[in-house]
Structure 1
Amino acid sequence: QTKQQKIATESKDGFLSIGIAVTSFFHLDHKDPMVKDLFRNRYATNPNQAMEEATRIYLSMMDNVSLAVAVSKYFDRLLKGIDKVGSMVPAIVKADQKLLDQLNGELQKGSNKLVTLPHMADRCAILQRELDLFYAQRLIVPDFSMDQITLGQQRGTGTFAKVYEGTLRQGLVDLQVAVKVPIDELRSRDVTDVLLEESMLRDLQHKHIVKYYGMCRSGTDNNLRLTFIMEYCPFTLKDKCVEVGNSPSSLGRTPDRQREVIQNLTKYLIQISSGLTYLHNISIVHRDLKPENVLLNVQDDVKIADLGLAKKVKDASTCAGSPIFMAPEVLLIGDKYDTKADIYSFAMIMWELWYGKDVSLYAAVEIQGSLKNALESKWRPSLSIVHSPSNNWKDIIKQCWQQDPKQRPT
């Protein structure tokens, strides 16, 4: 091929396009630590955000000097002399016009998708809820009947359910259980979340996660309720450790008793860590970790409970949980977050256990203005109150409540 034939052939693939030539001059360096972290770690949890950051890095390379160098290299490679440049201008303009037309076409397709896809997603969500409701009303097989359940004293109440102490009769055996009874009947808007929670509870098997025994149905189609039967635990961590007057801080003048309490609290924290590690290893974020949701059985062992807000990491984006225990990225950004949000909550639990104070009440006195504004300013509860934590305890708390989730331990 002559040079002119080669140019004519390659121009069909955009060889003459200044736009293609210049943009091809720039590239992301796969050896750069920031780029490696972006695509090895962050892309897996939030691909949209990762690509947005990659685009920002790419565009930041295109300053005036770099663009001038790229254009100069283009002309040096393809054309020699001003007369040659002049003769090739129509072909160059045509190639770039073709590129612009292609980009415009892609933008139009993207705009159409922005209109069509949300509508399709909404319709699919409605169909999903209708199918799930049909499944719950007609197909689901309960593990127990309500006749096997005897309700006792109410132990707690939440937004969606009440929890009772109860007895499950299985043949000649009576088992003490916790019975979670929905406040409202099952509705199409809630059914998918309820079924996902039930499926998650059924799959979880760990000595420091509250045990799920099964489900029973009550009512008919219009007032159907799915009642969950779980392991009975008589206490919460808050019952035993918060506002009860036996915290390490309050026992600062009695070292022997303080040492004994610290040893017991350390056991609780190790067991919470064990349960969290299990959840995080299967990519589940608890999202509402706090002393009220950490139960203690009759053997005084930890059982992490109330997994109604728990989500797979890829689905964790909504703002859920108790505000004072929420990590900054959850409360402030509300974008995708991961298991590191639970690590922040763990730090707040450690603070409550050391001082024996309700951190919500403490924050209400200390914070002037909103919690969001305080967290933006990196507010944390004080670690300098009388009889402050040991250095080791304090270091763990500080690591776990770092503002940047990447700086928190796993």
Structure 2
Amino acid sequence: MPSTIPTEGLKDPETAELFFKEDPEKLFTDLREVGHGSFGAVYSARDVRTNEVVAIKKLSYTGMQSTKKWQDIIKEVRFLQILKHPNIIEYKGCYLSEHTAWLVMEYCIRSVSDFLKVHKKPLQEMEIAAITHGALQGLAYLHSHAMIHRDIKAANILLTEQGQVKLADFGLASMASRASSFVGTPNWMAPEVILAKDEEQQYGTEVDIWSLGITCIELAEMKPPLQSNSSVSVFSRIIRSESPTLQSTEWSYHFRHFVDSCLQKIPQDRPTSQKLLKHMFVRRERPETVLIDLIQRTKVLSQEAHNGPAVESQEEEVIT
């Protein structure tokens, strides 16, 4: 085992079992950065054992708050290990090298926020419905197991080459159905998460429903509400202002009703993820190839504009 591994942190056998012992530098080649955020960088790579293309999220546990970083890595790995659902990114293992954890996951071609960047215009309603439907199925799975994602946004919803929707980035997720930590990305935060900062109130899975509603607006308007405001101003307005709504009246009644249902200020007034799966916005008939068609159009646009380089994931202020 390389000397760079935090041996003190691996004395606990249960913790040690979370990590593969092999050197990831020897197992994964052709690393190419495909996105980054406050946590670090994400790479595409090839597994030399299987020739499979995978995604690798590198998380450093050195520098300031190294103990907290290490604890966060352990928490995320424990979380990813128990998740098994078609609409949640598949976890393939974690390795340690040079004070960095390599979280290996299935490869997805882009985040939904990347699609917005390439197209430079809102997605079509059918596309938003298909993405929302997939995200909801992933959320329903989490919520049925008393888990909260706590950072739902377009940057954390990915698409595979086959057009399958995948929830990703569980670094802020909670394994308890009631939580009180002030975490998330400001513009997508539910009012009760913000109130938890000062009032130590608990909140539940309803916060993911609020964030999903904000994400729908993000996909329809290319940005979440209040994006130009400072974090302090955002928090104040989320708590004190009326709930945001879709600005354009051109969207269908079902879409507008879905968003309004998600963005109820009182958490108990929001439908559950299971109930929202029955909403006409996500149940309405649409072509099975709607997301594959979106992917193909995006590839053409990307090649025309950039000659094919990766689009960096949107980086926002994330509160941990």
Aligned residues: 260
Question: 2:144 corresponds to which residue?
Answer: 281
Does the 8 A contact of 1:313 with 1:337 survive in 2?
A: no
Residue number among 348, 367, 370 corresponding to 2:214 in the alignment: 348
What secondary structure sits across from 2:264 in the alignment? coil
Instruction: Find the aligned partners of 1:210 and 1:346 in 2 and give their Cα distance.
Output: 17
TM-score of the aligned structures, taking structure 1 as reference length: 0.58
Deviations 1:64-97 (A, max 9, x none): xxxxxxxxxxxxxxxxxxxxxxxxxxxxxxxxxx
Q: Which runs of 5+ in 1 are unaligned?
A: 1-128, 249-260
How far apart, in 2, do the equivalents of 1:143 and 1:396 lie?
47
CA contact (8 A) 1:359 1:381 kept: no
Give the match for residue 234 of structure 1: 109
- Mapped partners of 2:77, 2:58: distance in 1: 13
- Write the letter of the residue equivalent to 1:279: L
Look up the SS of the partner of 2:214 in the other structure. helix
Amino acid at match of 1:179: I
Residues 1:364 and 2:242 aligned together: no
Distance 1:284 1:151, change over 3 A: farther
Residue pair 1:242, 1:358 contacting (<8 A) in 2 also:
no
Question: What is the aligned partner in structure 2 of residue 123 from structure 1?
Answer: none
Structure showing greater radius of gyration is 1
Q: Is the 8 A contact 1:161 1:180 kept in 2?
A: yes
Aligned to 1:145: 23
Among candidates 30, 34, 48, match of residue 169 of structure 1:
48
Instruction: Give the Cα–Cα distance (whole angstroms) in 1 for the partners of residues 85 and 59 of structure 2.
Output: 25
Who is 2:84 aligned against?
Answer: 205
CA 174–130 in structure 1, closer or farther in 2 if over 3 Å, else same: closer
Deviation at 1:131, TM superposition (A): 6.6
Pair 1:291–1:138, CA change in 2 (3 A): closer
Q: Which residue of 2 aligns with 1:225?
A: 100
Which of 165, 168, 171 in structure 2 is aligned with 1:308? 171
- 1:211-237 per-position Cα deviation (integer Å, ceiling 9, x unaligned): 001111213xxxx33211111111111
AA aligned opposite 1:176? V
Sort the Cα spacing of 1:330 and 1:368 in 2 relative to 1 into closer, same or farther, 3 A.
Answer: closer
Written as runs of structure 1 = structure 2, the 5 A alignment for 1:27-106 is: none
The residue number in structure 2 matching 1:182 is 59
CA distance in 2, matches of 1:350, 1:328: 17
1:158 matched residue in structure 2: 37
Letter in 2 for 1:207: P
Q: 1:135 to 1:158 in 2, by over 3 A?
A: farther
CA gap 1:143/1:302 in 2 versus in 1, 3 angstroms = farther
Match of 1:406, SS state, is helix
Aligned to 2:130: 267
Deviations 1:144-185 (A, max 9, x none): 431111142211222233111111121xx2110111112343
Distance 1:266 1:239, change over 3 A: same
Q: Does the residue aligned with 2:125 lie in a helix, a strand or coil?
A: helix
Cα distance between partner residues in 1 of 2:150 and 2:15: 32
1: CA distance, partners of 2:15 / 2:231: 53
Q: Which has the higher contact order (CA 8 A, sep 6+)?
A: 2
Partner of 1:405: 267
Shift of 1:193: 2.5
Give the % identical residues: 27
**RMSD (CA atoms):** 2.8
